[in-house]
Amino acid sequence: MTPARPRVLHLVPALFGKDGVVGGAERYSLELARHMAEVVPTRLATFGDRAEERAIGDLDVRVIAHAWHVRGQKTNPWSAAIFSEIVKADVVHCHQQHVLMSSTAAAFCRMTGRPVFATDLGGGGWDVSAYTSTDGWFDGHLHISEYSRRVFGHDRNRRARVILGGVDTDRFAPEPATPRDGGALFVGRLLPHKGVVDLIAALPDGMRLDLVGPAANAAYLEYAKQRAAGKHVVFRHGSDDAELVDAYRRALCTVLPSVYRTPDGSETKVPELLGQTLLESMACGTPVICTRVASMPEVVEEGRTGFVVEPGDYRAMHERLQWLAAHPAEAAVMGAAGRQTVVTRFQWSQVVRRCLDAYAVA
């Protein structure tokens, strides 16, 4: 039986160092562990180019160096050092199911009688799960949205729960003294499935668009810059957390125009398993526009906290941007409603409690 105050270990494939991968999935893992550490003893083990131990608030972090990257995949590191971490824990929570780290951790936990859980955040690499289902190796699957539970085939799995995502509502909060600049904002990695070129096409004349996030695909970045020629589009790479919060507070709205089918014809089923930037924007009192893709309609309430348009429909996006610019009072009401939605359902303390409730019945 799981103790009332379990020692929890979070295993994250890649997070720190020059080869670290920091996107929405990695931020989610770190923030969940950081806030869980405020409630129960929590440790996070991850991989990087240099071994180190560090504390982030109440959270203890171990960075494991010299990992073997399975088939050269930097998001699929493995090291026997994970076993020395697992034996110290009462509960193990793996972030990304379909990587070798998680499969071996789950097998070891089963052998040693430790509950083990998985949260799949859309990544993966070569793993034994390509040949046999590893679903039953885990005591529970903790999904970040209803869409995630469905797309991974767990909608009828009694051991699958939805824990949602969280926002630090103290950090991401409105600041009435900060004036709105009337511009649109996109936050995220510049990748084809993010639909940025549709947002550029939708931009009304004279409206500024800030694209904030790392250039994760050089060819797509160049394509986006070509499409932005002659428009007021600013590409911002390397913004820190304070600058990001300020950008949310100043924006007319935040737009996440993700698509299933990218400009080159490729498709993905998991363009957005949550839509973290939508939640952060709403927490700052800024209305949002998203596409009817994956989990995002679960986050945005049409006409109340923002607008939902069809993927690739830049004309509808254009109309919503124009409407928000022309109706500042109504936009402010939408922003306030978005903030209330986040406070009610998407605070990290609530996500932590959902996890602990799941651990308790394992």
The pair of structure tokens assigned to 114 is 């430790």
Under 8 Å between Cβ of 7 and 88:
yes
Domain 8-166+347-360 shares a fold with domain 184-345 = yes
Question: Nearest CA to 296 among 314, 273, 280?
Answer: 273
Diameter over CA atoms, the chain: 63
At 229-251, the pLDDT tens digits run 999 999 998 888 899 999 999 99
Compute the radius of gyration of the chain from its Cα atoms.
20
The reported pLDDT for the residue numbered 24 is 67
d(CA 113, CA 94): 16
Given strand 160-162, what is the order of strands in its sheet?
A: 52-56, 59-64, 42-47, 8-11, 91-95, 116-119, 140-143, 160-162
SS3 state at 167: strand
Mean pLDDT of the chain: 93
pLDDT tens profile 89-99: 999 999 999 99
**Sorting pLDDT into bands at 50, 70 and 90, what band is 1?**
low
Domain spans in the chain, listed from the N-terminal domain onward: 8-166+347-360, 184-345
Percentage of residues in the chain having pLDDT higher than 90: 83
DSSP secondary structure letters along 284-352: TT--EEEES-TTHHHH--BTTTEEEE-TT-HHHHHHHHHHHHH-HHHHHHHHHHHHHHHHHH-BHHHHH
* Per-residue confidence band for 88, with pLDDT thresholds at 50, 70 and 90: very high
Tokens coding 169: 């509502």
Q: How many secondary structure helices (H) and strands (E) does the chain include? A: 12, 16
pLDDT at position 139 is 98
Helix (H, G, I), strand (E, B) or coil at 61: strand
Asked if CATH classification 1.20.1260.10 holds for the domain at 8-166+347-360, the reply, yes or no, is: no
Contact 272, 297 (CB under 8 A): no
C-alpha 120, offset from chain centre: 11
Least confident of 122-136, 199-213, 338-352: 122-136
- 18 pLDDT exceeds 80? no
Structure tokens at 12: 């994250």
Model confidence at 133: pLDDT above 90: yes
Tens of pLDDT, residues 94-117: 999 999 999 999 999 999 999 999
Position with higher pLDDT, 200 vs 20: 200
> Tell me, what's the pLDDT at 240?
87
Average pLDDT over residues 189-214: 95
Q: What angle do CA 296, 308, 207 make, to 5 degrees?
A: 110
Cα 98 from chain centroid? 17
Q: pLDDT category, 16, cuts 50, 70, 90?
A: low
Q: Which CATH class is domain 184-345?
A: alpha beta
